[in-house]
Structure 1
Amino acid sequence: MIRRISSFRARTLGTLCALLLTSAAWADAQSDYADHCASCHGDTRLGGVGPALIPETLKRMRGPRVAAVIAEGRTATQMPAFAHNLNALQIEELAGWLKSPLETAPDWAEADIMASRTLDADYVEIDAPVWSSDPMNITLVVETGDHNVSVLDGDTFEVLDRFETPFAVHGGPKFSPDGRYVFIMSRDGWVQKYDIWALQQVGRVRAGLNSRNIAMSGDGKWLAVANYLPNSLTLLSTRDLSVAKVIEIKSRKGNPSRVSAVYQAPPRESFVLALKDVPEIWEVFYGANPPQSGLGHDFRIEGQFKNPNPFPVRKITTPDYLDDFFFDQTYEYVMGASRDGNGGQVIDLVIGQKVADLDLPGMPHLGSGITWRRGDTTVMATPHLTDGTVSVIDMETWETVKRIKTEGPGFFMRSHENSPYVWADVFFGPNKDVMHVIDKKTLEIVRTLRPAPGKTVAHVEFTKDGSHALVSIWEDDGAVIIYDAKTLEEFRRLPMRKPSGKYNVWNKITFSEGTSH
């Protein structure tokens, strides 16, 4: 009989290591990994759909906890339980092997990145699009079923192109400020540049070994890549994908950390980083005139500001770890939440200190938070990953306005300035086929859609004018369903291979209300 999670937690790391001393146990663990784990986490344990499984990324999890996750799965992720595939001894041996170092320590420096870069020889820059659609109403659909992206005309919903991406795209694609180019990143660190006008790939570069997301600078010159492995932030030139700088991530005390997420703060001409393993957030400046405080003595000479190296870094200590965060409209405040915590905090980027606490239980997914004007204030709403709730917060008082009960934990929310509604999915649990439509004024659910009973319904994107909402049936034989955003009636259904995120050029480059940034 398979022992449950309590028995895994009860075993000591010493006992676990003892089990792994035999070569037979080691070989069995490697075989089990190949059979059950490699398809998601990579043949070399350096990550794929799932994160890298090596000591550098598992350092906050003791051996028994790793075993528990293998046995029971992980809440609010795509990590399944394997207690029905592996017995208790197999799971303990596998957990111990995952905590063992690789034969060769992973490293990915600037020279490695540049050696991976390829620019397509047949790519030719053109002066105008090869299609007649509205270039601001193009929508990209990421199809994870076979690792492709479909390019949609947002007016006719015709598929203009369908191109192959790197394996396991992760995080939202980022558009250049003119909407012409899009940059797409995969979990194994590959960054792809694609010319939407020409419907042609420009090139690729591997910016890390296991990466989280990317951010575009407000001026369109730089792309920041947040890496789990190595512990770094890679800054690329958007022009030719060359390396501008690789920043090693170490805290003020010298402790290394993975980067949970990176986002741009356009008015501040900076990137803001959430760190996974240390209680700090970082601000990396790309503008010509970064602030003259908070950067340390290396950036001052004879009372005058100087920038001997590009991309100076400011490190802000926080009371808790921030795995995810959200900006207010001025980009002065960061609202952060830890995946391990039951609340959130507001950090003032100007003074570099916490100024408020947020009542946010239930593991809020702030990366999918959205804002809209409601009466004489602005509110922010975020789904919860562990309970059926959407929290709505007043962004002037930081008080919770309402907790909207849903039919289960959600992952994505979207709205549009021309829509009276917020759309929220129920990504996890038995009601994953539900999409709630919430009135922005009353904060009440006005319609619950079930477009494909029993199948996962997720992630909404709007057309440029907000007239239509695009919803994913997140299955291998899935579809993108197009709704009339006013009547909430289905308009059209486009077959797709496990479509996940959808990204409209105009909404993303203008930071449209209701779009996560």
Structure 2
Amino acid sequence: MNLHRPIHSLRTLYTLLGCLLLALTAAPGFAAAPAALYQQHCASCHGADRLGGMGPALLPENLQRLRKSEALKTIAEGRIATQMQGFANTLPADEIQALNDWIYTPVVPAPTWTAQQMLDSRIVQHAPGSLPDRPTAIYKGVDMMNLFIVVETGDHHVSILDGDKLERLHRFPTRYALHGGPKFTPDGRYVFFASRDGWVTKFDIWNLATVAEIRVGINTRNVAVSADGRYVIAANYLPHTLVVLDADLRPLKTLEARNQKGDQSSRVSAVYDAAPRQSFIAAMKDIPEVWEISYDPKAEPVYEGLVHDYRMGEGNPVPGQFYPRRTLLADVLDDFFFDGTYEHLIGASREGQLGQVVNLDSRRKIADVGLPGMPHLGSGISWQWQGRTVLASPNLKEGVVSIIDMANWQTIKQIPTLGAGFFMRSHEDSRYAWVDSMMSPNRDTLQVIDKEKLEVVAQLRPEPGKTLAHIEFTRDGRYALASLMEQDGALIVFDARTLKEVKRIPAAKPVGKYNLYNKINRSEGTSH
């Protein structure tokens, strides 16, 4: 190209600049721009737009739980048990660093995910009614409600465990980085998973088969399943939506998470099933509202100002099913606990020092609750204490478990622990509640609280220096299973009465395990 020719148009200028860029990036010793590196080495698996493909999405929203140092190591060395190969022998260190920095930068404008993209992504492996309506032979003699679903993020697999024999029955691969607990249909046949990349998977436990999958967003927090098993709803960080599906993972409605005025959108922190109310409850990360979305076909109309798709005037009724009833609050609440009737919601802000009690019938705050630090109400539990129902919540910032009287919402006691924790569990037939300190230097120790004395009575530290968390009980409460959350980790089984270790089941970073009976029947010792 003659660089001395006059430039007669913008098109000629852009062509010239493009040629110069290509020439420069081809020159020896030139560090290629990260966008060009990405298109050359990453786009075929992770998508040209970084929204994911065969590999996961590479966006800052999706990488929040992956430290930059770990991402850098993955680019250089690859990832075990995946098709991700390392580039240490292909790219110089500065280009690997540039790629790593680039995938943690936001995409502007923020990407969207349309209804058509959802439909295009939907995969049906087994048509409805095509699989036998009975458990396969592997389950002969097994209590189907004492199964555990174990999420292992170390190599992206799920295990199915026999809760009586405490043995693994089956193990299968999953989407990358499952996020949030699995949810079950009321008969225990199907389990639904959500991945951080927005994939919702329906798995037939009886037949050990993935039935269907659909991608409902780009960054998804969790899913909930209706009490009748007919509907699934997904909460998204990106885009700011709630997506309602039928049980066969066909999209029914997308709700944009906008405030009542319609001038502000919000990430959706989580969504829960409120079985007695035949509705879903959604937590908003960025706006001071709580949403209740009825799945009752006979639900009363919703009087709404701005509704996605309809844009009706203020006070006009819209169908009650799958439209939000809003509770307007003074503060944002992005973490919830519910009483047994689901009449009351106890919420906390990540920044506040007080929790709030919201009456979902009157749709207003009725009380404040003294909760220090950063309570993790989503992992709270309840039990009977001296004739009263109490709420117990671990804390993500302070070494304390808060005990709240659910009759008057007063604090009964703050129980000191070894450090900030994430999970808390118990069982109706156990005298103990278990809490970890995994957010602190004492991440290797479980503390056991006597539910009557309201004090720590034991500390369990079977593997010093390794993260130990997430207790879950067998159906009868006889055994408590803890997760040794390491790549070469294990499920450590304790006798729930003597607190002695019984056995270990090897597992690849088991982040959580979920007993079908306890989850489906909403055990008071299991978070909902």
TM-score between the two structures when normalised by the length of structure 2: 0.80
Give the one of 393, 401, 424 matched to 1:390.
401
SS in 2 for 1:98: coil
Structure 2 CA distance for aligned equivalents of residues 362 and 95 of structure 1: 34
> CA separation in 2, counterparts of 1:512 and 1:398?
21
CA contact (8 A) 1:137 1:155 kept: yes
2:123 pairs with 1:114: no
CA gap 1:366/1:79 in 2 versus in 1, 3 angstroms: farther
Unmatched 5+ stretches in structure 1: 1-22, 58-69
Choose which of 375, 379, 384 in structure 2 pairs with 1:364.
Answer: 375
Matched, 1:266 2:271: no
Say which SS state the counterpart of residue 480 (structure 2) adopts. Answer: strand
Q: CA deviation at 1:297?
A: 10
Larger Rg: 2
TM-score scaled to structure 1, two decimals? 0.82
Q: Distance in 1 between matches of 2:103 and 2:169?
A: 49
Letter in 1 for 2:131: E
The answer to whether 1:319 aligns with 2:333 is no
Contact 2:400–2:416 (8 Å) recurs in 1:
yes
Q: Are the aligned partners of 1:426 and 1:433 in contact in 2 as well (CA < 8 Å)?
A: yes
CA distance in 1, matches of 2:104, 2:56: 20
1:399 and 2:410 aligned: yes
Structure 1 SS opposite 2:299: coil
Aligned partner of residue 235 in structure 1, secondary structure:
strand
SS at match of 2:283: strand
Question: What is the DSSP-based 3-state SS (H/G/I as helix, E as strand, rest coil) of the residue aligned with 2:291?
Answer: strand
Give the letter for the 1:128 counterpart.
R
User: Contact (CA 8 Å) 1:388, 1:409: kept in 2 or not?
Assistant: yes
Q: CA deviation at 1:319?
A: 1.1
Structure 1 residues 32 and 348: CA distance shift in structure 2, 3 A? farther
Deviation per residue, 1:351-406 (Å, 9 max, x gap)? 11111111112111111011111111111111111111111111111111111111
Distance 1:28 1:95 in 2: 10
Q: Please tell me the residue identity of whatever aligns with 2:134.
A: A
Contact 2:380 2:527 in 1 (8 A): yes
Identity of aligned residues (%): 50
Query: Which of 220, 224, 236 is matched with 1:215 structurally?
Result: 224
- Cross-structure match for 1:53: 60
TM-superposed CA distance for 1:308, in Å, is 4.4
Partner of 2:420: 409
AA aligned opposite 1:112: Q
2:105 aligned to 98, 102, 115, which one? Answer: 98
Aligned pair in 2 of structure 1 residues 463, 351: CA closer, same or farther (>3 Å)? same
| Partners of 2:59 and 2:103 within 8 A in 1 | no
**What is the SS of the residue equivalent to 1:516?**
coil
Cα distance in structure 2, aligned partners of 1:460 and 1:160:
20
The aligned residue for residue 20 of structure 1 is none
1:274/1:243 CA distance change after superposition, 3 Å: same
Report the secondary structure of 1:507's partner residue.
helix
Is the contact between residue 276 and residue 321 of structure 1 (CA under 8 Å) also seen in structure 2? yes
Provide the C-alpha distance between the structure 1 equivalents of 2:431 and 2:499, rounded to a whole number of angstroms: 11
The runs of 5 or more residues in structure 2 that have no matched partner are: 1-23, 26-30, 74-92
Alpha-carbon separation, structure 2, partners of 1:425 and 1:393:
19
Answer whether contact 2:304 2:318 (CA < 8 A) is retained: no
Match in the other structure for 2:131? 125
1:493 aligns to 2:504 (yes or no)? yes
Question: How far apart are 1:342 and its partner, in Å?
Answer: 2.1
* Contact kept? 1:30, 1:97, Cα under 8 Å: no
What residue is the counterpart of 2:261 in the other structure? 253
C-alpha change, 1:167 and 1:297, in structure 2 (3 Å) is closer
Structure 2 CA distance for partners of 1:502 and 1:32, relative to 1, 3 Å: farther
Aligned match of 1:166? 175
Aligned length: 461
Partner of 1:60: none
Q: CA distance change for structure 1 residues 374 and 79 in 2, over 3 Å: closer, same or farther?
A: farther
Letter in 2 for 1:120: Q
Q: Distance in 2 between matches of 1:364 and 1:49?
A: 31
Amino acid of the structure 2 residue aligned with 1:192: T
Residue type of the alignment partner of 2:166: F
Q: Which one of the candidate residues 438, 450, 458 is aligned to 1:439?
A: 450
Q: Kindly report the root-mean-square deviation, in angstroms, between the aligned alpha carbons of the 2 structures.
A: 3.3
Q: Could you tell me which of 242, 245, 254 is aligned with 1:233?
A: 242
Report which stretch shifted further, 287-296 or 111-120. Answer: 287-296
Any residues of structure 2 matched to 1:64-75 within 5 Å, and which?
none
